[in-house]
Amino acid sequence: MKGISKLVIVILCLTIVLTSCKKAEGQRENTDQDTNSTMTVSSLRGRDIKSPEYLEYSGNLLSMQDVTIMPAVSGVVAKIYADEGSFVKKGGLIALLDQQEFEIGLSQAKNQYESARLAYEQSKIDFERTQKLYESKSISDAQYEGLKLKHQITENQMKMAQDGLNMAKKRFDDTYIRAPFDCYITNRLVSVGTRVNMMPPTPMFRIVDINNLQFKISVPVAEISNFSEGENVEIFFKDMDIKVNEPIYKIVKDVDPRSMSSQVIIKIDNRKYDHRLKSGLFGTARIYSEALKNTYILEKKYLTKAENGKGTIYVVQGGVARARDIQYREINAVSVRVISGLSDEDIIITSGLNIIKDGRVVSIAK
């Protein structure tokens, strides 16, 4: 019985081994058939994903200066010379505060200064006489020092009165509310009779600089190397049908962590365009770069390998899939800019990338 049991066990083992061998052979045959069979794939032409030789970004035109006018002295608005929408030249009058109180203060300061000046002039004459007497030893040291001190005090009092007069003049001048630069009045916040305060300051007008404008765009960090300060940018304002070419004024070094982009600022002198450009206009900026020539925009999902700016794609050559090494730069979470390894005529395989092998016979889906 023991001999029969051993024989049965041996037969079972042989059966299992033979079955496994047949399965393995069948799998090899299937694999060979898959490799040799034609695989239908989707594709892209290199020319269809070729990048233009420029980068294009949208942005808004803003004033370099957007200012709220507040009074330097407290008072009551007596007159208003410019309303919303008015254009005012630098130094032009916008409003006037009631001047009666300031005229009185200025008159008092003038009188105080004149009194101090006359006292100083008399003290100067007296001191000059005292010096002669002192030199001739007609008066004592104590008398001389006393008169010298009196003269110095009157001189200081005159200087203080001069400072007071200058301050009174400034306060009087501050009743004239003037434009600090060529501007448009965008908001009038007071009326005749409104009481305005220096502290806390009362907003009176909101004005914007119309000469100096800035166009801001957000550029992905991966593309910021294509920009440099001083380089010309072409900006088109469709609503006004105006195209301008202006240099980059500033590239902001700080990166927005949410969008991974930096701001590029283009400064525009609106006087060159007869003040036709307005703050708030929407525009499109283009920057041309040699570095963008013969580059291609490809979705990351079509790379079978991607690391440190180097990757692998599959292209069709003579009806066969071939692995192709490329170099690229990140654009965003979806796309890369291929900078070498591609040409206009290349056919890039875009499907079956998880199973395709180098040398596989392929046909392109129509």
Q: Are strands 362-364 and 39-41 parallel, antiparallel or unpaired?
A: parallel
Q: Is 71 strand, coil or helix?
A: coil
99-174 sits in which CATH class?
mainly alpha
Per-residue pLDDT of the chain (366 residues; tens, 9 = 90+): 445 555 545 555 556 645 555 544 444 444 444 556 899 999 999 999 999 989 999 999 999 999 999 999 999 999 999 999 899 999 999 999 999 999 999 999 999 999 999 999 999 999 899 888 888 888 888 988 998 999 999 999 999 999 999 999 999 999 999 999 989 999 999 999 999 999 999 999 999 998 999 999 999 888 888 888 998 999 999 999 999 999 999 999 889 888 888 999 999 999 999 989 988 899 999 988 888 889 999 999 999 999 999 999 999 999 999 999 999 988 888 999 999 999 999 999 999 999 999 999 999 998
pLDDT given at position 51? 92
CATH 2.40.420.20 segments of the chain: 37-51+294-364
Q: How far apart are CA 327 and CA 143, in angstroms?
A: 96
Nearest 5°: the CA angle 349, 361, 344 is 35
Q: Which CATH architecture fits 55-65+211-292?
A: Beta Barrel (2.40)
CB 231 within 8 A of CB 255: no
Provide the greatest CA pair distance for the chain. Answer: 159
pLDDT at 267: 95
The domain at 37-51+294-364 falls in which architecture? Answer: Beta Barrel (2.40)
b/e code 168-186 from CB counts within 10 Å (16+ = b): beebbebbebbbebbbbbb
Closest CA to 327 of 316, 317, 313: 313
Q: Do 220 and 103 touch, CB atoms closer than 8 A?
A: no
CB-count exposure of residue 83 (10 Å: 0-12, 13-18, 19+): exposed
